[in-house]
């Protein structure tokens, strides 16, 4: 899968938790901008500490399945989160992501 902008892609990490997945993506795309969204403020605090030297990371505390995304992203990533949604919720959420 090729990204639209492989130099500085905009990456959304859904259910980001402590930012582990974003950390791996940052190794591959060091110039990318990242948006991490998670329900848990405590988990995002750990992510903020992990990325304290990175100015290219934004954080959103909220329910990604209900969040009104207005920004556009080149890549949406998720690990260990979306499987918690019911099948119908997954369909609705994925449709929402396609517009982002």
Query: Residue 32 sits in a domain of what CATH number?
Result: 3.40.50.150
Q: Quick check: is 43 in a domain?
A: yes
Q: Where are the beta strands (DSSP E) in 1-100?
A: 10-14, 33-38, 57-61, 75-78
Higher pLDDT, 14 or 80: 14
pLDDT tens profile 9-51? 999 999 999 999 999 999 999 999 999 999 999 999 999 999 9
Classify strands 10-14 and 57-61 as parallel, antiparallel or unpaired.
unpaired
**Average pLDDT, rounded, for the chain:** 87
Question: How many structural domains is the chain composed of?
Answer: 1
Query: What is the pTM assigned to this prediction?
Result: 0.84
Q: Quick check: is 4 in a domain?
A: no
Query: What are the backbone dihedrals phi and psi of residue 53, each rounded to the nearest 5 degrees, phi first?
Result: -95, 5
Work out the end-to-end distance of the chain between its first and last CA atoms, rounded to an integer number of angstroms: 17
Token pair 């969204």 in the structure block, residue: 37
Give the model's confidence band at 93: pLDDT under 50 very low, under 70 low, under 90 confident, else very high.
Answer: low
Q: Quick check: is 1 in a domain?
A: no
Q: Quick check: is 16 in a domain?
A: yes
């Amino acid at each position: 899968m090729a990204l639209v902008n492989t130099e500085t892609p905009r990456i959304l990490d859904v259910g980001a938790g402590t930012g582990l997945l974003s950390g791996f993506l940052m190794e591959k795309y060091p110039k990318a901008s990242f948006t991490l969204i998670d329900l848990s403020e405590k988990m995002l605090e750990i992510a903020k500490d992990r990325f304290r030297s990175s100015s290219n990371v934004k954080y959103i505390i909220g329910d990604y399945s209900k969040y009104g995304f207005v920004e556009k992203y080149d890549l949406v990533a998720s690990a260990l989160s979306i499987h918690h949604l019911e099948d119908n919720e997954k369909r609705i959420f994925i449709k929402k992501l396609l517009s982002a």
